[in-house]
Structure 1
Amino acid sequence: MAKDTTGRLHVTVRTGGKRKLSSKLWLERQLNDPYVARAKRDGYRSRAAYKLIEIDDKHRFLKPGITVVDLGAAPGGWSQIAARRVGAVSGKGKVIAIDLLEMPEIPGVSFARLDFLAEDAPAKLLEMIGGRADVVLSDMAANTTGHRKTDQLRIIGLVESAAAFAADVLNPGGTFVAKVFQSGADAELLARLKRDFATVRHIKPASSRQDSSERYVLATGFRGQPNR
């Protein structure tokens, strides 16, 4: 072990055996990430919880009694925060979550193992919601191929699908939050969001890794649709 520039002990993972370099680097980053350690101390499922905490602390859209949909929820960091802030644990608000992966139960959260891109997914989600939602969260990320342009298009396509779903289920005044990655491929997505929402902005939480192109789009003040 050695200390980094902040004075914290830095854990170095040895190579060897069947461990690939990419696996070594990922494990080393996890072991030295202060938010990973903090999440364990605070009882959160993932470091991603702090990203939602930061965004909501500033923009205050997770209000008591509302309905929240969490797309790509596993392992559950965002669902935990949403359930606490809307009062779902005590039955005041509601949190509906889905993911391709299984997710252990979280108090106040209704979860289904479901592929968001499956043809029957929107209908199943609407049945779980039992009405309309006030916030749609998406921390989903597409599987990567290693080809930068292809991966960017996949990511944008996933966010566009989530935005289309949000436009179908949100109450007027609702909020949409989604993970995106900095690129020039999201012009069409932003144009759509600006048409449907009063305010659209990009956010880079302090808890996002600074060497990552990850950021979040926050769209507030859903205008609603006349044909509802």
Structure 2
Amino acid sequence: MTDRVKTPGRSPGGGDARPEARPLKVRLKKARSLSSSSQKWLQRQLNDPYVARAKREGWRSRAAFKLLEIDDRLKLLKPGARVVDLGAAPGGWSQIAAQRVKSEQGQGRVVAIDLLEMEPIAGVDFAQLDFLQESAPAQLISMLGGPADMVMSDMAANTTGHRPTDHLRIVGLVELAIDFARQVLAPGGSFIAKVFQGGTEGALLADLKRDFATVRHIKPQASRADSAELYVVATGFRGHRPGNPDVAEAADAAD
């Protein structure tokens, strides 16, 4: 079952996260050199109110509003928490996490990782690496100073245009992210990742329910209405971690 976020998120400053209505539609000019698909994408970007608001408020991407909505509802990002952002570039989710986990005592850590370079963000430690590397879980725990309280991923696999194939690719990527989360999460931790509707969501939820107390699908209002995009949110990690001596050593060293 998919939950639609009904209450709009609030920006850190307390403003309504919903974009203002834009009465005039921006039309492309001199776009003949672009392919049809590129023209459609650019037209959509120019007329997307979340894109415009993200630029005004200094968010790295419109995706920031999706995490804002989800976290306003579920309160996943707690002050003092340790957070890993997989596939973080350009950094919209890392920005939100850094603001929300910062405590008055200066605690709270956010580590962002990506294959691509990312411009620095205040309060975020960045590592340019592949989270699939065998050494990645231990490295992330060391950077965090202990096991993570939350692993989040807004990653999406490169698309082919063939919807069934693209669905299998994103599910495969999420499964890899789940395996990573199982290695680095502390008991009680949470996991959030982007998926797409396509017929295998039930199997993914069943897999997560073996290790998490609560699992659900959510579609934020900031997700485009015509998109098959969903977010899977798993909370209450039961603490099962595969035997990886490097991970265990990193966790013991952090403690």
Given the superposition, is the C-alpha separation of residues 45 and 7 from structure 1 closer, same or farther in structure 2, using an over 3 Å criterion? closer
Q: Which moved more, 1:120-129 or 1:151-160?
A: 120-129
CA RMSD of aligned residues (A): 1.9
The CA deviation at 1:22 is 0.9
Which of 174, 199, 215 is equivalent to 1:200? 215
Matched ranges for 1:53-132 at <5 A: 53-87=68-102, 91-132=106-147
The aligned amino acid for 1:161 is L
The CA deviation at 1:225 is 1.9
The CA deviation at 1:127 is 3.2
The CA deviation at 1:15 is 5.5
In the alignment, structure 2 segments of 5+ residues that lack a partner are 1-20, 249-255
- Aligned pair count reads 223
Q: Which moved more, 1:217-226 or 1:58-67?
A: 217-226
Aligned-partner SS, 1:9: coil
User: Within the alignment, does 1:219 sit opposite 2:238 as a pair?
Assistant: no
> Residue 175 of structure 1 contacts residue 218 of structure 1 at CA under 8 Å; is this kept in 2?
yes
In structure 2, what is the equivalent of residue 160 of structure 1? Answer: 175
Q: Which moved more, 1:146-155 or 1:119-128?
A: 119-128
The CA deviation at 1:129 is 2.6
Q: Which moved more, 1:77-86 or 1:121-130?
A: 121-130
Q: C-alpha distance in 2, partners of 1:87/1:224?
A: 25
Q: What do the CA deviations read for 1:132-176 (whole angstroms, capped 9, x no partner)?
A: 000000101011122222211111011011111111111111110
Which of 2, 7, 11 is equivalent to 2:26? 11
Q: C-alpha distance in 1, partners of 2:95/2:31?
A: 37
> Residue 15 of structure 1 contacts residue 24 of structure 1 at CA under 8 Å; is this kept in 2?
no
- More RCO (CA 8 Å, sep 6+): 2
Task: Report percent identity of matched pairs.
Answer: 66
> Residue 71 of structure 1 contacts residue 137 of structure 1 at CA under 8 Å; is this kept in 2?
yes
Aligned-partner SS, 1:161: helix
> Residue 83 of structure 1 contacts residue 89 of structure 1 at CA under 8 Å; is this kept in 2?
no
Q: Where in structure 1 do 4 or more consecutive aligned residues deviate above 4 Å?
A: none
In structure 2, what is the equivalent of residue 173 of structure 1? Answer: 188
The CA deviation at 1:187 is 2.9
Q: C-alpha distance in 1, partners of 2:238/2:36?
A: 48
